[in-house]
Amino acid sequence: MFVIMHLLTLKNWTPEQIEEVIDKSIEIKRKPDEYRTALKDKSLAMIFQKTSTRTRTSFEVAMTQLGGHAIYMDWRTTNLVLADIRDETKYLSRNVDCIMARLFKHADLKAMAEASGVPVINGCDEKYHPCQAISDLMTIKEKKGRLAELKLVYIGVHNNVCNSLIEGCTKVGMEIITVTPMVNESSLDEELLEKAKRTGLYKTTKDVKGAVEDCDIVYTDTWVDMEFFLDPKFKEEKEKRIKLMMPYQVNKELLKGSDALIMHDMPMHRGYEITGDVVESPNSIIYDQSENRLYSAKGILLKLSGKT
């Protein structure tokens, strides 16, 4: 039986598959001309229920540079707003070769994948952001030459990005310590955390200074998810979060004596989770990390289309 490979989370991906995509992404970045026609005549449907800069840009440019074509679909302007997600997906997968979707609910992505005759990529939902984690690991491997036996500290709200980082790091042998005094309830996945703990590579602490002391990478993310950032109904919660999270800001004082690389998946909020001087500091690899979304999108698309 032919099994379609999806990328909804990294749960069903083996360490070898993750490393293969990372290595392929690095190779594609080095030798882009060798992949100019790799997805010739192929089409990607990109469905967005939420805003995006990097995910949309990277996948659209990736398809163009691989010789294929991407279709941007704002959820609100499609008949997904009024029809069954499974029916619409069944149709879509008869016209396109791959679907990438950024949806509010992971359950909807699962429904899409079940109905689809082509690979489905999670472009970020409330629980996971696997494309970001692959790009992050690619960037770390590029900078450090390896992934195993490094130590990454994630400081911020426990969210979808944090979940996928935990999955990714523990699978490739990297230690990950989270400093997350707040949790986005909708992102909770106890099974993922339990599995990660069993590897011995994942721990959580409130001691932010101690965690940073001997780590290789400091990673932070927004304290407020994109769908709530400008929502007046979320104003009170946003203010509460800022007050609680400010002692965990990634700033020069926290990083004193550390030579850790600094990462952020963007969009950033300077002066909140990270200060501007740290964003612009020599150890910051934030813009390389965001640039690598393009090459890792290519690596993911090739892997799912069976071209690696």
Tracing tokens 């997906």 back to the chain, one arrives at: 89
Shortest distance, CB of residue 180 to ligand CP, whole angstroms? 18
Strand partners, 73: 47
- CA–CA distance, 20 with 24 (Å, rounded to integer): 6
Closer residue to ligand CP, CB minimum distance, 56 or 90: 56
- 241 and 235 in contact (C-beta within 8 Å)? no
Smallest distance from ligand CP to CB 267, Å: 6
Residues engaged in binding ligand CP (CB under 6 A): 52-55, 124, 132, 265-267
Residue among 161 and 174 whose Cβ is closer to ligand CP:
161
Residue number with CB closer to ligand CP (142 or 221): 221
Compute the least distance from the CB of residue 130 to ligand CP, in Å. 11
Min CB(54)–ligand CP separation in Å:
4
Of 124 and 155, CB closest to ligand CP: 124
Q: Is 128 helix (H, G, I), strand (E, B) or coil?
A: coil
**Cα separations in angstroms, 33 against 61, 84, 98, 193, 297:** 14, 41, 22, 40, 16
Q: Which is nearer to ligand CP, 129 or 141 (CB)?
A: 129
Q: Shortest Cβ distance from residue 221 to ligand CP (Å)?
A: 9
Q: Which is nearer to ligand CP, 19 or 60 (CB)?
A: 60
Q: Minimum distance between the CB of residue 53 and ligand CP, rounded to whole angstroms?
A: 3
Q: Are 216 and 150 in contact (CB under 8 A)?
A: yes
> Residue 261: which H helix or E strand, with range?
strand 261-264
What gap in Å lies between CA 152 and CA 226, rounded to an integer? 24
Task: Give exposure, 92-131, as e/b (b: 16+ Cβ within 10 Å).
Answer: bbeebbbbbbbbeebebbbbbbebbebbbbbbbbbbbbbb
